[in-house]
Each structure stands twice: as structure tokens, then as C-alpha cells.
């Protein structure tokens, strides 16, 4: 114990150990105790309750510090400094001066350490320390309360701004649209909270599953005892897998390095159900805990769900910039309105209200609902295809994917396997094919023995279980599996060995049974597995190997491998067969101990029978599934890292010359839909902002029902259905723009804003030049005869003697009557223009609801424009005008639509034009892989086949794709093949 000699109040217990503690001395103080007693009485015992919750507070309140030798109260404080980040605990290491992750066994431990240090269990003191440091062995997912989820949703900055906007609109009597937005927002918030709550509950129920295990610990009397403990699990291995014990090696090499990439065969993953244990005769089967709680692989899975990686996607940052731009535009409008209304001497309250109204016009409150609707539509379409997304916000990101890696087995191919046949070898030649479709049993021989014994199958409750490939091959032999019996067991072996016997449908065999004595499990790195077996009645041992044909052939004696081995292998792989090779050797060993001590590396095989995946099989499957475009050259690239005496090398080999393509992707359609909705809502805000600003110039604005027609009947309905257009069934050879701030999209908004501004300003000024125009019109009766001549209008205007002073916030005017149909038709036309179909979405007419709403809105607007009904004019707060002026309004809107549509479709969406512009100005993609692709297309020596390149030095280079965050489109490199122009993608394997 170390004591602080300066004051004597502090001491350190167990210095330098894991359970290090600090001790502080305190002495009771009468006055403090009395004051605390009085305070407890005055607070009706609340202070005592607080002291119960926080005992250290009671010590600080009733005692004074003193040396430890005089203390009557000692306050202990742990020296453990820890933090918890995303469910993982980190403890401060005073020696290393850094935080270290706890809750897992260090990978630096050797096999010897694990066997002898941790295999006997922990003492009670060690248990307490680890329980304190590492925490419980549990994956606990908290079910967040509804009120907390609700608060998080409501406090979203956009909803706060939306609430401010709605309060302002409601104060001005704009009830209908405000109520519609409130209902939509409430539904959106409720659905979001419900979805988050359900995800939390489902994840909690999925994770909270208990399993009983036996734990070996050391108790006080130093005897071993087995107790039961509960462990939280998620799931285990997908199929029954044989696990082997960790080797009892005495070297100091870390256990993972000792086992190389096959260390997983020694590991029971969290959630694994042990269905069978076979002792080896060397003691009971024990397991050492490597990781607990969220440190396990399943814990990492749960953490990835709870804390997904942030979306590093330009769409969301660009969207934020657009909203900031619209907000800045609204602020400019705010000061503009202040200046205009203050100039006319309007009261400060009315001035501030009207200025805030103009501020709220620019940022559409329906924006979050519209963007969410597009993602929901895409998610539903994916679900209909059997694709489920746990993070729907990432669907848009899929539109920018430029590289897809497919796992062939079970992904591009169907589940399940069928055994087609075997091709045995003899005398350095392939023999006649044995087809299983014929119904004939596989004849006895080394091939039959290898198929029956070389596998990792197990017998559980009388049923053979294991890998589907092993199971299918074993079933093809018509043999059966039994547990070891005295009759066939080899003396000196354990009863865990597997016995294989011919079944009723098997061919005649001179061997009654095969006993598997030693198994070398399949290694993905080695691409092979082996077993050592003994035939019943025989005195020799046999070894059988199974694996990839190229790998197995390398282990066989050259004189036993057929000369046409490669050609025969290619024949089957070109047809898409999955090819497995088998080999056999009779061992010259008489002692069982020699067999049990065999190492995998010393086995050599002498026969080959041609039955893991081959590269040519993968190419054939890719071709048949339509993954690879026709005419593509598939290049196999095998890269080797630099070693001590050898530089890094890259070997190039031409694998396949022809393939065909076709893949469907929903992400691109969702991305294009999001861009279209965002552009439309931006233009919708700008259109209303320009029209409202022009009316503010003379202290006027649009009427409530005029706004309601635009906001609800058009914008709200259009935004909720605009994104429901389905994806185009064919995948385009290029990606859509990945940024809202890309030149085509940015110019689209800017040019359409200019067109809108020009048309509205011209209409605003031109209506003032009409002979029938006057500033304020107070007549309440509608023109009964709308086709009146100019003299009547002129005389009516000249004879009017009312007060010409404008009333703040007035609605009836020729300006609002003229601007409203122009802005309304403009909102409809930009929705049509921004709903582009091919190449990423189906044509607009396939979206029936959206097309119907557009046509209905356009028809209703034209009907209101040309109608002569007094009720319509009174309700919409219009002033009747002559028919020729209404025709001019419609013509102006039509001209604007034609110009905007031509610019959008023929210029801004013309990919060939943009590629030409980029080429003329020397702009190319920042993606390094695209630059390489361009150079390779211009290189006449590409592809370099049957060549190995070596680096000048052994340094490793690191490539960072700078273009990933801001992908741009460059001209696709084209090649002429048989008179057809096709893209030339290169498929590589590193």
C-alpha cells in the first residue's frame, strides 16, 4: 500500500495491479451531521433518499477529510478509468498511456498459453476483476421509449422551421394548406417513430436468446467445479461444422498465426449450438472464452445495425446546400419586403408579418415527405423482388455504384446441387464416364472409397449432416455412416472415429467397412482436404484428398496425371459444371501412432480421379446469367505481395473472350427520382417567390385559395406520386449524375428560374400597359358579358373615382389575376420536364397516377382561366379579363414550357453533348480507375496475356480513389468487335 505522505489522507491499494484502488480518510463532524439531519427533516426525507442513491455525497456532507490513521470513515475509489463507445468498453492503461479495448482475449497469446493459463479457469479474484473491467457477457439492445423517439423526431431542425412556418400561416388565416401539412407531418412522424420502435423491439427480441453453457472456475478450496451460466446469442454456423481442438504447440507463435487462415475451425462463434461432442481420449472437451458481449462477431453485427456508418454521400450534403441557398433567398426576400412595406408607411406589425411570409415561401414544407416518398417507393419495388433494405436511406447511394462483386454459388446459381457423374483415371488416361442419371451404382475402387470417406460429415440422431457438396457426393456412393463399433475400430483409437459401410443400393465391394482415423479439414486457402482411413480387414492405411482440380493435380505424381487433363477440365467447366478432383495413396506405415502424428504437408498422392470451383466455371455462369457484356475480355490478374527476396509481381492472363450482359438496378431510378423531386420543389419555391415578390412591390399577394390550388392540388399530390415511376428494365452503360451541384442539374435550376423570372416580369409589366387596366378594382359583380370592347373597360376605368391608395395585403388586382395562371401552369410543366424516363426510369406515361394528376391539374387551371362563373371568380379572388388577354397568358405559359423542355431534353440531358464539351475543354474524371481504363483502351498491347510483371522495388503502394466521392462521367471507351460497338469492361481478380 502506498500512502500520500504529504497529507496522509490518501493511500493506494494494490498499486500497479488490475484491482488498484484509492482510499481517502474522513472523520465525522458533529455540526455537519446536525445540519444534514435538519435538512433531512425539512425535506421530508428527500435528502436521505439522495444520500442513499449517492453514499459518497453523505460522506462529503457529514465528514471532513483527515489522515487515514484518524479516520472513522474510508471512501474507496477505483483507479479504473473507462469509457464506452458504441457498446464497446475501453480502459485507460497508465503504463501505455492509451485506451485499450477490453472484453476479449488478446490474439498475442500462443496455443500453449491458452491451454495452460486459461484452460484451468480463473480464480475468484480474477473473476471479480474481469467482471469489473469487462462488464457482463451480454448483448443487450435497449428498447427506446416512445417519448424519446418522438422528441428526437420533433426536434429535427426542418420540423422546427416547419412549425414556425405553420404558426405564421395559421395566424394569417391560411388554414387549409396548413392543416394538410400538419396532418402529413404528424403521419410522417408517427410512422417514423413506429418504424424505429418496431426495429428496436425486433432487434431486442432477436438478440435476447439464451443458451446454457458449462463454465469451469476455481473456487476457494481450489477445486474445479462446473456451473451453469447464461450467454446471450444471435445465431451460429449456418450448417453443421466440425470444430477441431487447438493444437497443443509449445512455441510462442500467436495462436492465429499458428493456424493461419484456418483458425476459424477452432472457434465456436457466439450463438453456435454444440450438437455433438466427441472426446479424443486426452481429457474432457473444454472451451476458452475469446470474446464476450459486443466484442463477438455477432456483437459486431448488432453494433453495425445500431450504429450504421454515416452516409458519406454527396446527395445529402448538396441537398443541405440547396436548402441553405433557398433560405438565403428567403432572407433576401425578407429584407426586400421590409424595405417595400416600410417605404409605404405600413405599421411595423403588418410589415414584419408580411416579410416573414415571404421568408417562408422559399423553403417548401413538403420537402421531407416528398424525399421520403421516393425512398419508400423504391423500397417497396425492391421488396417485391425479394430484396430487403435495413437502411432505406442508402438506396439512393446504390445509384452511384460502379463496381459489383457477385458470389457465384447460391447467388448467380440456384441453391442445391445435383451429382452428374465421375470420370476415373487409369494408366495415365481418363476412363469412361459414370453417369449417375443412369441409375447404376458407382463401382468399387479408390474413387468410390474417396467419395465415401473424404468429407466432414457427421452422424446426428441417425441422420448424416454437413456441407451440401459433401452430402451430395456421399449420397452418390450409396454408402451409409455409423458410429465406431468394437468390430471395426482400430486398437488405440477413440470411439469418435467414423465407420462407413456399403448400403443396400451400393455396388459389390470386397471391403466391409472403412474407418476414418485422421481428418485434415477443408481449408479455403489450401483448396483441399484429406483423410487417413483404413479398410476393414486390411493392414495398410490409405489417404484420400479432395479439392480444386488444379490443386489436387499438383500433389499427384506426374506419370499418373492424364496428358489431356487441362483440356478435359476445360470441357466441363465451359458447360458450367462444378468440378471436384479426388486423389488416393496407400501409406507405407505400419504403426497407428505414425498415422496420428502425420502432418498435412508430407502427404503425396499418386492417382487422380476427375469428378472446387474453377475459374472457367465462374466465367460460364457469368456469361449464361447475362452479367458480362458481349465481346468483353475477362482478364485474370494475380498479384503477389513482395517477400523478403522477391519483388511484387502481377501475372496477366486472358481468360474469356465473349460474354453477354443485362442487369437491373433500382438504385439509379431512386437517385434520379430524388433529384427530380428536389429540383421540382426548388423550382416550386422559386416560382412562388418571384410571383409573390412582384405582388409585394405594390403591397399585394395571392389569395388563400390561389395558394391552396398550387400547394395542395398540384405540388403536394405531384410530389407524393412523382417518384413512383418504375425503374427501366435495362441497365444503362453509364451512371446518373451523383451530385445535385453537377453542371447539368445546376444549370437546369438556374435556366428554369431565368425563364420563370422573364415570363412573370414581362406579364407583370405588360398587364399595366393594357387600356383596361387600373390599379384597384372594387366592383363586386362579375362581368356578365366577358367579351366587352375596350371602350367599356376604358370608360369604366376612367370614370372610377375611388381612392387609389393601395391597401396592404390586398388580393384583388389584375396583376395577381395574370400571374396566378402563369405560375400554376409553370409548376405543372416543370413537374413534367423533371420526370425524365429513359435510360434510368420508365416513361412518364407508365406512372398512371402521376400522369392523371398532371392532366387533371392542367385541365382545372385552364378551366379556371377561361371560365366566366361569378362563384369561381369570387372564390379564387380574381378580376375578370378579356378573352384575348387570357389567350396571351396561355400562349406565354406554352412558350415557356417549349423553351424549357427543349433546353432540358436537347441540351442539359444530352450526354453526348456534355461528353463533347468535356473533351474540348480537357475535363476528365478524377477516378483513377477511369483514367486507367482510358489509357488501356488506347494501348495497342493491352491485354498483356501470359506475362508476369515485377516491380522495381518491394514497396507497397496505396491507391485512394479520389473520384469516389465526386464521380463524373467520362466518354465510355468503345471498341469495334464484329461490326458492333460495345463497351469493354475488364473483370479482374486480385
Q: Would the pLDDT of 429 be above 90?
A: no
Q: What is the pLDDT of residue 961?
A: 38
Task: Band the pLDDT of 356: cuts 50, 70, 90.
Answer: confident
End-to-end, the C-alpha distance of the chain in Å comes to 58
Reported confidence tier of residue 301, pLDDT bands at 50, 70, 90: confident
Position 418 scores a pLDDT of 77
From 221, 407, 427, 461, active-site residue: 407
E-strand ranges in 603-665 read 607-610, 634-640, 649-656
Show the CA angle centred on residue 12, arms to residues 11 and 17, nearest 5°: 170
Radius of gyration of the chain (CA): 40
Q: How much is the pLDDT for 377?
A: 79
Pairwise CA distance, residues 528 & 605, whole Å: 13
Query: Beta-carbon neighbour count of residue 816 at 10 Å?
Result: 24
Residue 702 has pLDDT above 60, yes or no: yes
Q: What confidence score (pLDDT) does residue 407 get?
A: 59
Q: Output the 3-class SS for 449-473.
A: HHHHHCCCCEEECCEEECCHHHHHH
**Over the stretch 59-71, which tens digit does the pLDDT of each residue have?**
999 999 998 888 8
Cβ-defined contacts of 850-854 (< 8 Å, 24+):
850/718, 850/721, 850/722, 850/724, 850/725, 853/717, 853/718, 853/721, 854/718, 854/828
Amino acid 804: pLDDT? 34
Least confident interval from 260-264, 499-503, 982-986: 982-986
Alpha helices (H) in 650-742, listed in sequence order: 667-696, 704-708, 717-722
Q: 593 burial class (0-12, 13-18, 19+ CB within 10 angstroms)? A: exposed
Over range 117-134, report the average pLDDT. Answer: 73
pLDDT tier for residue 119 given thresholds of 50, 70 and 90: low
- What pLDDT does residue 670 have? 79
| pLDDT band at residue 207 under the 50/70/90 scheme | confident
Q: Is pLDDT at 919 greater than 60 in this prediction?
A: yes
The lowest-confidence range among 146-150, 460-464, 513-517 is 460-464
pLDDT of 335 over the 80 cut: yes
In this prediction, residue 398 has a pLDDT band, given cuts at 50, 70 and 90, of confident
DSSP category for residue 600: G
Task: Evaluate if residue 299 carries a pLDDT over 60.
Answer: yes
- Which pLDDT band holds residue 712 (cuts at 50, 70, 90)? confident
Region of poorest pLDDT, from 184-193, 464-473, 563-572, 827-836: 184-193
Residue 909 has pLDDT above 80, yes or no: yes
Please tell me the distance from the alpha carbon of residue 190 to that of residue 153, in angstroms, as a whole number. Answer: 9
As beta bridge partners, residue 654 has 635
Q: Give the full edge-to-edge strand order of the sheet including 88-93.
A: 82-85, 88-93, 98-101
Q: Is 107 a catalytic residue?
A: no
189 or 237, which is more confident = 189
Provide the 10 A C-beta neighbour count for residue 407: 8
Average pLDDT over residues 95-115: 70
pLDDT on residue 957: 40
* Sequence-separated (6 or more) residues with CB below 8 Å from residue 254: 107, 108, 109, 110
The Cβ of residue 980 has, within 10 Å, a number of other Cβ atoms equal to 9
**Highest mean predicted confidence (pLDDT) among 192-196, 657-661, 682-686, 963-967:** 682-686
**Confidence at residue 188, expressed as pLDDT on a 0 to 100 scale:** 75
The per-residue pLDDT for 885 is 92
Q: What are the beta bridge partners of residue 528?
A: 523, 547
Question: What CA–CA distance (Å, rounded) separates 217 from 228?
Answer: 11
- Check residue 715 and report its DSSP letter: I
The Cα–Cα gap between 909 and 903 comes to 8
Give the pLDDT of residue 779: 43
Lowest mean pLDDT among 398-412, 496-510, 935-949: 398-412
pTM confidence score: 0.60
If you average pLDDT over each of 103-112, 433-442, 789-798, which comes out highest?
433-442
What is the Cα–Cα distance from 927 to 981, expressed in whole angstroms? 24
834 in Cβ contact with 676 (< 8 Å): yes
Q: What is the pLDDT of residue 948?
A: 66
Q: Are 385 and 395 in contact (CB under 8 A)?
A: no
Angle, helix 314-343 to helix 667-696, in steps of 10 degrees: 10
Q: Distance between CA 183 and CA 18 in Å, rounded? A: 58
* Range in 82-91, 637-646, 679-688, 710-719 with the lowest mean pLDDT: 637-646
Question: Per-residue pLDDT averaged across 175-197, rounded?
Answer: 79
Cα–Cα distance, 262 to 265 (Å, whole number):
6
User: Does residue 761 register a pLDDT over 60?
Assistant: yes
The span from the CA of 365 to the CA of 289, in Å, is 54
Domain boundaries, the chain: 2-79, 84-140+208-306, 331-343+665-698+710-909, 448-610
CA distance 756 to 826: 8
Q: How far is CA 90 from CA 85, 101, 585, 909, in A?
A: 8, 4, 53, 53
Q: pLDDT tier at 609 (50, 70, 90 boundaries)?
A: very low
State residue 887's pLDDT score.
Answer: 94
Confidence of residue 977 (pLDDT cuts 50, 70, 90): very low
Mean pLDDT of 1-5: 47
Average pLDDT score, the chain:
73
The SS3 call for residue 912 is helix
- In the predicted model, is pLDDT for residue 786 greater than 50? no
Q: Identify the top-confidence range among 573-577, 695-699, 804-808.
A: 695-699
Whether omega for the bond prior to residue 943 falls within 30 degrees of 0, making it cis, is yes
Q: How confident is the model at residue 886 (pLDDT cuts 50, 70, 90)?
A: very high
Please report which confidence band the pLDDT of residue 658 belongs to, taking 50, 70 and 90 as the band edges. Answer: very low
- Confidence band of 900 (pLDDT split at 50, 70, 90): very high
pLDDT at 614 over 90: no
Residue 655 has a pLDDT of: 44
CB-based contact 21:78 (threshold 8 Å): yes
pLDDT, average across residues 419-433: 84
Most confident of 57-61, 252-256, 426-430, 800-804: 57-61
User: Once rounded to an integer, what is the mean pLDDT over residues 416-421?
Assistant: 77
State yes or no: pLDDT of 646 exceeds 50: no
CA dist 462 and 445 (Å) reads 26
Higher pLDDT, 122 or 325: 325
How much is the pLDDT for 414? 55
Check residue 236 and give its pLDDT: 45
**Banded pLDDT at 852 (limits 50, 70, 90):** very high
> Rounded to the nearest 5°, which phi and psi values hold at 168?
-65, -45
Q: What class does CATH assign to 448-610?
A: alpha beta
Q: Pick 4 or 388 by higher pLDDT.
A: 388
Determine which helix (DSSP H) or strand (DSSP E) holds 132, and give its type and residue range: helix 124-134
The pLDDT value recorded for residue 650 is: 46
Q: What percent of the chain is predicted at pLDDT more than 90?
A: 11
User: How far is the CA of 61 from the CAs of 7, 10, 44, in angstroms?
Assistant: 20, 18, 18
Residue 531 banded pLDDT, cuts 50, 70, 90 = confident
Residue 271 has pLDDT above 80, yes or no: no
pLDDT at 896: 94
Band of pLDDT at residue 830, cut at 50, 70 and 90: very high
Lowest-confidence range among 37-41, 287-291, 913-917? 287-291
Q: Could you tell me which residue, 601 or 290, shows the higher pLDDT? A: 290
Is the pLDDT reported for residue 270 higher than 60? Answer: yes
Amino acid at each position: 500500500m502506498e500512502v500520500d505522505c504529504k497529507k496522509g489522507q490518501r493511500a493506494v491499494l494494490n498499486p500497479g495491479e488490475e484491482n488498484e484502488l484509492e482510499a481517502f480518510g474522513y472523520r465525522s463532524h458533529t455540526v455537519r451531521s446536525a445540519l444534514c439531519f435538519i435538512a433531512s427533516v425539512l425535506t421530508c426525507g428527500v435528502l436521505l433518499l439522495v444520500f442513499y442513491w449517492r453514499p459518497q455525497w453523505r460522506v462529503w456532507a457529514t465528514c471532513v477529510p483527515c489522515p487515514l490513521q484518524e479516520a472513522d470513515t474510508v471512501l474507496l475509489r477505483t483507479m479504473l478509468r473507462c469509457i464506452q463507445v458504441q457498446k464497446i468498453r475501453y480502459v485507460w492503461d497508465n503504463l501505455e498511456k492509451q485506451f485499450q479495448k477490453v472484453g476479449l482475449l488478446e490474439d498475442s497469446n500462443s496455443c500453449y498459453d491458452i491451454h495452460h493459463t486459461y484452460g484451468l479457469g480463473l480464480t475468484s479474484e480474477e473473476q471479480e476483476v474481469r467482471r469489473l473491467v469487462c462488464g457482463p457477457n451480454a448483448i443487450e439492445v435497449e428498447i427506446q421509449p416512445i417519448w424519446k423517439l418522438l422528441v428526437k423526431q420533433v426536434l429535427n431542425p426542418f420540423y422546427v422551421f416547419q412549425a414556425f412556418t405553420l404558426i405564421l400561416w395559421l395566424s394569417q388565416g391560411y388554414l387549409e394548406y396548413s392543416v394538410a401539412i400538419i396532418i402529413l407531418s404528424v403521419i410522417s412522424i408517427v410512422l417514423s417513430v413506429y418504424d424505429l420502435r418496431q426495429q428496436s423491439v425486433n432487434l431486442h427480441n432477436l438478440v435476447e436468446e439464451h443458451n446454457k453453457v458449462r463454465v469451469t472456475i476455481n473456487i476457494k478450496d481450489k477445486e474445479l467445479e462446473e456451473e451453469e451460466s447464461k450467454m446471450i446469442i444471435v445465431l451460429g454456423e449456418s450448417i453443421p461444422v466440425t470444430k477441431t481442438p487447438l493444437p497443443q504447440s509449445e512455441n510462442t507463435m500467436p495462436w492465429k498465426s499458428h493456424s493461419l487462415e484456418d483458425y476459424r475451425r477452432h472457434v465456436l462463434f457466439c450463438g453456435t449450438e454444440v450438437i455433438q461432442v466427441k472426446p479424443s481420449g486426452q481429457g474432457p472437451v473444454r472451451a476458452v472464452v475469446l470474446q464476450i458481449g459486443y466484442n463477438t462477431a455477432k456483437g459486431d453485427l448488432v453494433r453495425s445495425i445500431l450504429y450504421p456508418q454515416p452516409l458519406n454521400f454527396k446527395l445529402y450534403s448538396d441537398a443541405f446546400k440547396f436548402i441553405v441557398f433557398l433560405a438565403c433567398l428567403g432572407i433576401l426576400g425578407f429584407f426586400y419586403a421590409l424595405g417595400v412595406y416600410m417605404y409605404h408607411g405600413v405599421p411595423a406589425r403588418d410589415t414584419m408579418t408580411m416579410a416573414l411570409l415571404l421568408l417562408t415561401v422559399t423553403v417548401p414544407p413538403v420537402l421531407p415527405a416528398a424525399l421520403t416518398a421516393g425512398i419508400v417507393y423504391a423500397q417497396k419495388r425492391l421488396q417485391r423482388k425479394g430484396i430487403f433494405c435495413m437502411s432505406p436511406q442508402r438506396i439512393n447511394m446504390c445509384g452511384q455504384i460502379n463496381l459489383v462483386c457477385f458470389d457465384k454459388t447460391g447467388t448467380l446459381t440456384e441453391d442445391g446441387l445435383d451429382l452428374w457423374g465421375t470420370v476415373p483415371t487409369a494408366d495415365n488416361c481418363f476412363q469412361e464416364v459414370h453417369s449417375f442419371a443412369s441409375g447404376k451404382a458407382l463401382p468399387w475402387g479408390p474413387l468410390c472409397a474417396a467419395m465415401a470417406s473424404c468429407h466432414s460429415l457427421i452422424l446426428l440422431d441417425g441422420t448424416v449432416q454437413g456441407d451440401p457438396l459433401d452430402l451430395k457426393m456421399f449420397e452418390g456412393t450409396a454408402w451409409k455412416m455409423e458410429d465406431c463399433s468394437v468390430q471395426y475400430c482400430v486398437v488405440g483409437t477413440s470411439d469418435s472415429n467414423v465407420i462407413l459401410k456399403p448400403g443396400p443400393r451400393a455396388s459389390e465391394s470386397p471391403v466391409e467397412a472403412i474407418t476414418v482415423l485422421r481428418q485434415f479439414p477443408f481449408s479455403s486457402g489450401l483448396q483441399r482436404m484429406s483423410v487417413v482411413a483404413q479398410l476393414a480387414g486390411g493392414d495398410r492405411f490409405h489417404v484420400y484428398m479432395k479439392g480444386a482440380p488444379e490443386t489436387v493435380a499438383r500433389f499427384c505424381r506426374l506419370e499418373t496425371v492424364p496428358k489431356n487433363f487441362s483440356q478435359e477440365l476445360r470441357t466441363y467447366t465451359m458447360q458450367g459444371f462444378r468440378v471436384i478432383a479426388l486423389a488416393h495413396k496407400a501409406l507405407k506405415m505400419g504403426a497407428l501412432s505414425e498415422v496420428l502424428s502425420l502432418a498435412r504437408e508430407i502427404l503425396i498422392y499418386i492417382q487422380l480421379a476427375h469428378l472446387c470451383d474453377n475459374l472457367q466455371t465462374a466465367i460460364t455462369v457469368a456469361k449464361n446469367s447475362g452479367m458480362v457484356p458481349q465481346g468483353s475480355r475477362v482478364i485474370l490478374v494475380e498479384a503477389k505481395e513482395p517477400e523478403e527476396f522477391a519483388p511484387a509481381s502481377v501475372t496477366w492472363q486472358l481468360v474469356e473472350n465473349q460474354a453477354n450482359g443485362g442487369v437491373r438496378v433500382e438504385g439509379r431510378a431512386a437517385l434520379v427520382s430524388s433529384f427530380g423531386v428536389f429540383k421540382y420543389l426548388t423550382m416550386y419555391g422559386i416560382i412562388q417567390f418571384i410571383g409573390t415578390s412582384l405582388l409585394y412591390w405594390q403591397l399585394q399577394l395571392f389569395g388563400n385559395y390561389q395558394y391552396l390550388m398550387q400547394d395542395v392540388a398540384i405540388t403536394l399530390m405531384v410530389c407524393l406520386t412523382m417518384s413512383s415511376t418504375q425503374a427501366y428494365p435495362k441497365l444503362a452503360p453509364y451512371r446518373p449524375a451523383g451530385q445535385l451541384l453537377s453542371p447539368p442539374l445546376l444549370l437546369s435550376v438556374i435556366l428554369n428560374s431565368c425563364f420563370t423570372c422573364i415570363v412573370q416580369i414581362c406579364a407583370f409589366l405588360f398587364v399595366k400597359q393594357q387600356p383596361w387596366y387600373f390599379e384597384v378594382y372594387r366592383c363586386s359583380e362579375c362581368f356578365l358579358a366577358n367579351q366587352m370592347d375596350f371602350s367599356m373597360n376604358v370608360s369604366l376605368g376612367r370614370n372610377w373615382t375611388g381612392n387609389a391608395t393601395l391597401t396592404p395585403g390586398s388580393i384583388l388586382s389584375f396583376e395577381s389575376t395574370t400571374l396566378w395562371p402563369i405560375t400554376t401552369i409553370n409548376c405543372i410543366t416543370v413537374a413534367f420536364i423533371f420526370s425524365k424516363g429513359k435510360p434510368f426510369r420508365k416513361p412518364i406515361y407508365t406512372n398512371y397516377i402521376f400522369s392523371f394528376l398532371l392532366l387533371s391539374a392542367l385541365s382545372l387551371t385552364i378551366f379556371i382561366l377561361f371560365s366566366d362563373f361569378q362563384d369561381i371568380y369570387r372564390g379564387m379572388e380574381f378580376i375578370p379579363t378579356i378573352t384575348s388577354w387570357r389567350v396571351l397568358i396561355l400562349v406565354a405559359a406554352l412558350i415557356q414550357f417549349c423553351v424549357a423542355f427543349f433546353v432540358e431534353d436537347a441540351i442539359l440531358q444530352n450526354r453526348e453533348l456534355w461528353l463533347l464539351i468535356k473533351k474540348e475543354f480537357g475535363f476528365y474524371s478524377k477516378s483513377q480507375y477511369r483514367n486507367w481504363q482510358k489509357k488501356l483502351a488506347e494501348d495497342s498491347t493491352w491485354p498483356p496475356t501470359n506475362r508476369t510483371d515485377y516491380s522495381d522495388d518491394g514497396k507497397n503502394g496505396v491507391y485512394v480513389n479520389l473520384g469516389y466521392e465526386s464521380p463524373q462521367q467520362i466518354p465510355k471507351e468503345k471498341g469495334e468487335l464484329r461490326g458492333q460497338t460495345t463497351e469493354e469492361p475488364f473483370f479482374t481478380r486480385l
